[in-house]
Structure 1
Amino acid sequence: MFYLRVQRIEHSCLFELFWGQGQRLSKTLPFPDLLTTLYQQWEQAYINFYKTINIPLNSEPETKDIWRGKAVASGSIAPRKIDWHGKLIEAETRLLYEFHCWLRNSELFEIYDRIAIASRAAGESETSIDLFITCTPIEVARLPWEAWEFSSESARVKKIRIARVPANIRHESAVHQVKQKRRYPRILVILGNDQKLNFQEDWKTIKQSLNRLAEIPDPIGLEPKKSIDDFKTKISQAIADEQGWDVLIFAGHGNETQMTGGELGIAPGVSIRVSEIAPQLAIARERGLQFALFNSCSGLSVAESLIDLGLSQVAVMREPIHNRVAQEFLIQFLKELANHNDVHQSLITACQHLKTEKNLTYPSAHLIPSLFRHPEDKPFQIKPPSWRQLVRQILPQRYQAVALTILVLISWQLPIQQWLLERRVLVQAIYRQATLRTQTNKSTPILLVKIDEESLEKEPQIRPISRTYLGRLIERLSGAKVIGVDYLLYPPTNDDTKLARSVENVAKRGTIFVFGASQDRLTQKWRYAPNAIANPNWSLSGSMTVRGLYYAELVSAFDSTQPLSYLLASIYQHCIDSSNNIKQDGCSLKSVQLHSLSSPSPLPRISPKFTTYLGYSLGQMWLHPIVDYSLPPDRVFTSISAKDLLERATPNSLDLSQKIVLIIPNYLTAGIDKEGEDNWSAPAAIKYWYNHPHQILTGGEYHAYLVNHFLNQRLVIPLPDLWLILLAALVGAGTVYLEQNRFLQRQKIVIVLIAGTVIYSLLSLELYISSAAIALPIFLPISTIWIYVLPRLLKQKS
């Protein structure tokens, strides 16, 4: 870092270079009067050119007042026949040529050499060498020092960044004393008020460029029906805001003053002096204000007074600036700032853009901006987030971690899972009915023959069920292709021969039987109907053990006893063709056995072999198929009481040849090992369909639902709440990250969350009904996202 003081004393200029540990060089050059003349000629051509042109930048209509300052003191409106563009280019060329010739005086070679040594020491690094220049008096300061060329071979310098420093700095910069706790820099925008110039374009540019990188409240501007005094008070209070600011941007008129540190035009004919807001600026400096940009005219005195107050950096326009040029500069400057360049490099790049890309449209505009810096401070920069910051943004905060832990623990409890699953199916039932998805033209092939209390009025023997009574029912069901008996006919009784005779008579007419089997809870041995009844020539044994009211029995080729419901569906599928007609060939018991064992289908489309069994080892029911009670019972089965069946004169009117008949108990004491165990309080969906709060679901009805699922090759797979909670946590963390990094505004996030909740809920309901048959949990995942995001939104609102 080098510090150069240039002081004009009468007709000479004193150059003093300071660097390192107190090293200094002092050189004196005569100051050429021609340089002053050329500057005045350039200034006149510059002002006249921009007064006489129309340079469109946007759709806003051009106005006569094109300057961001008061009436220009020099220059005059000339006839349009004068080529002011050419005159300006010529004046700029002559001014810069004379300026560079003066600076290449041999007296300054040693100064060049000292800077070249520092350049060589920098090597191939990208570090720039900062040169701070203080110029007095103001006539010397007006010269375009930023255009000083250091690329001569003698100097062999690499990259010099020129910044200005005022002659007087009475206050220490407070930036290095402020411990920044803000995640994003805060930017205060103050807009002047002028009906002829649209400063709102500056606000749009700021918002579009930095919205994702900084916190930018609404700009401070003159409101209708507000007095000027109130406006000045509002500006003062905003500058001294308790939260502090990192950047101050002013867009409006500006002008130099001798004693008040410059003035800022805030309303037509009304200005606020820098000296008026000096106390508030000092407070803002202590609270972190580092950089100020005054996109207005003639800001030399404004910059010097602010650096004197202790601000770190101030960017100003040294000369009058055309409104469109000021907007173009701001666009490029903020673009570079958004790319995480510091303000010094951003200003240099923006000026380079005006010089190379816009010089024909905006000649000499690149000579106008200047950056004043406090020598002790690094230039302000919106730094990109580090990987640690990114990780901290993604990791849950304390309240989020607590909430997530509670949700995970809730989702791990099987009783809570079952309760949530029951409500999930209830919602699905209501949705089916609301969307008319319960109607179908296809009648159900499942017929339940219910042995109820009324049927048993004349049959006192219930435990065990009377074999003679069962035989009578079976004989009345002659002609059915498949009959299932949801009774454990074990242990043998003296009446077994009577039942066996009835079964044999019906079997000889082509009926295949499936008798219930059960596994002893203590010995784990299977209990089957006696061979006299369940003759292997015409019957199979199927498990009627119900392990869970809401979970379906899994089919496995390795199990010795397949579920009763699966065997009934398998026989029906094997013996009835697509037109519901009985197949004449290939419906032997042997072929059915081979079909059911070699092709244990339908299985869930999500294989439970690994994940489900892994869940079992952890005490979970991951991906275990469920019984879909969202279907109304009348779509699943038809029923007839045993009494009605026996008393019906013509049972053949039931068209038994196309039915799966299942004889089931339907009384309160039904059970295998103890009374009543075959009955459960019905799931919420069944109560909804029956419109009865105390409805009972029997084991036979449970089997009927499973037969329906197997027939239609449709087993609903519920995705675990735990999985979706963790996924929702990631989505919530991502949403918070997008909001924190300004990719999404708060209002948009609220809309997205509400819309996302509705869309996800509808998607879950539709996915359940679809051929995919997947039940996405709704309540806990949605709650997880809202728990993540809502506190952030409420904090922003407050």
Structure 2
Amino acid sequence: MAKQFGNSLDNMRELGKLVVLKIGPGNFQQGFSVTLQIGGETQRPTVELVGALPTAPDLPLLYQQWQTAYRQLQVPHRLESEPNMVTNVSWVGDCQEMADALCDLMNHWLTQADFQAIHNKLLEQLSPSDNIRMVVQTEDPLLKRLPWHQWVLLQRYPRLELALSAPVYEQVEAPHTRSKTVRILAILGEATGLDLATDRSLLQNLPGVDLHFLPAPDRAVLNQYLWQPQGWDILFFAGHSNSTGSNGQISLNAQESLTIPELKYALSKAVQRGLAIAIFNSCDGLGLAQDLADLHIPQILVMREPVPDRVAHEFLKGFLESFSRDTSLYLSVREARERLQGLENEFPCATWLPILCQNLAQQPPTWQSLQGQVPSPNLGAPWMAGALATAVTAATLAMRLLGGLQSLELAAYDRFLRWWPLWETPDHRIVVIENTATDLKQQGLDKTSDASITDETLLKLLQKLETFAPRVIGVDIYHAHPIADDLPELKQRLESASNVVSLCKHPSMSAETGGIGPPPNATLPHESLGFSDLLEDRDSRARRILLAMEPLPGSVCTAHKSFAAIVAAQYLAPGALDNSQNPWLEHVFWPEEHEQFQLQQVKVPRLTPSSGGYRLPAEAFGGYQQLLRYRHLPDLEHIAQSYSLGQVLQADFNGQDLRDRIVLIGTTALEFGGGDIEERDFWKTPYTTSERPEDMIPGVFIQAHIISQLVSAVDDDRPFLSTWNDGVEIAWIMLWAFAGAGLAWYLVKNRFWLMFLTLEVSLFLMCWSLLAVPAIWVPYVPAAIVFTGSVVAVSRYRSYQ
């Protein structure tokens, strides 16, 4: 499995950038025209820029001086004997000194103003993490010999290798190999003074090859093998060779040498039958490369200068080891070339010798493709990307389980609610009567009072409202003191009026004392008394509602159901709460695990301590809870038509707006404390964006939103806010983790940021719209974290490979 992963990994790295530097006609005395093209491996160039290389009259002379110094090194090499070959010894230090001078002059030449635009464009378009094939396309012999890999700019890119290409090239259609092995024809030429046995041994150690050796063949035998109908994948030559001008020559045996044009027809047929790579592990091979390029051989690997035996062996060993692991052809050449640096104390400039010559119309093959396995970025998803995505998901889910993401998820939830368009209207079924600061003063109450409405005022208000025939009257004002003995009518109305709902308050979940009860001297039936408890999160915002709960033993508040639930039920079916045969408001199986709260035919989904973004401790969670779905209005206080208490009590008040409606009575005076009773009846909501007290919402309007939510669910089919179960949420989060890993693993660099931003925006829009239309709270924060985290993790992993 590890080998398979490694193969897939290197295949994916092929999906990089192709940089072509086209150097036009010219010379070092007049300069050269240059065209730069940059694009994806399988795409047309996306960048093209025209520039120039300035004059450099000293560069040819300095190269010749280095070449002379190099060829005067007294080391055995694979160059054919030259009659005028210089034999005096040139010290290694002298050769290295000339090499340094040549590199300095070449880099100075490549930083001149005429070439600066191309230099800057390369810096702009290329990243050190990119896989880059750079091809210098020229027909100038000296430009081909320059040590381009010593260009300082290219040292920034650890995954770049440079090749040469002829200005003229042509694609050759060859059939896909049907063999499961790599077919290699290995020619071992004239071997006087050479160790070709090592070349032979290195080839024999390759896995999955069909290897045929031709030791010292004559021309007829070689021609016959090249014509074999099954074809060859790799042509290999080791022995003596040299180049004269633009032509090359190889020594087949002690008596016979030949040039590439003398095998023109046989080699052309071999290319048509699938020959993909020609490797000439011999000296001075640029002339051979020129002749082979004329035959449109896809990839040619040669040595620029005479190559010592030991250097030839080390390069061949490194290249074959890397390439047979299915590392890309270019990176295999780079890796093997750089390994030669360890020999440069004995063989200076050894890393300058190997050069790849590319037919630009052909894609470089891989070891797998030569075996008939055509690699594809979409086949065999690498398990490491999946493993990294899984690790990021596990870490995020663990953090979420421990509550580390709750504040972020609630903040995102609030923002989604605030950003949704204002498309809802006030609820015409509800009217709010506000007990304002002016009303309180007229009643003679102030901040020190232990009540927020007098019994006389409440009785007058109930009497006045009765004349307008509202369907339900909800008194959202605590009445903890006994009813005055001289007001028996108020006591009678609160106890017997079927459409008047009063409230009480349970003690806090963690306390067994406290709470606020109904009037001590009144006995209110269960269908006329609900608890008013609202829930707030750690940031003091009211996002949840409490529909039912079991009263604590000895509590002054004995209500099982909430004030809002009872008001809603009374509106939907007046008097039904008192009919045990037709329970319109039902809370069954209490306190079993599978309890269900139901309002008429509508079942209310229960919020659990781990629903959505919540991770609530058991001690902070109790009762039957649900998310509060506010009506999205310009001002939450516009949920309903409202009047002040003083307006309603005026003699000329026209109460037709109250007929058959839900009327809520509540205190809205922010500056009124009401002792300990009312001081917390102003609330922050998801729509609250400041800490100013005046931006808080009076409790009576929160109750109006809850009642509207319950009534709308029955009458208007307006859904309750719900969440996915844990399994679906985990699957959703993992989906985005793998999307991020896939994006970082497969995508071509020049489209990466576009796709990254597109997916991020898509995730946001999906979570935003799902919260509004089907009313599902979909995890956004953990999905965004794992998506981004997987992108970063996989990208970092690939950059180090």
Q: Using structure 1 for the length normalisation, give the TM-score.
A: 0.50
Task: Kindly indicate whether structure 1 or structure 2 has the higher relative contact order, using CA contacts under 8 Å at least 6 residues apart.
Answer: 2
TM-score (norm 2): 0.49
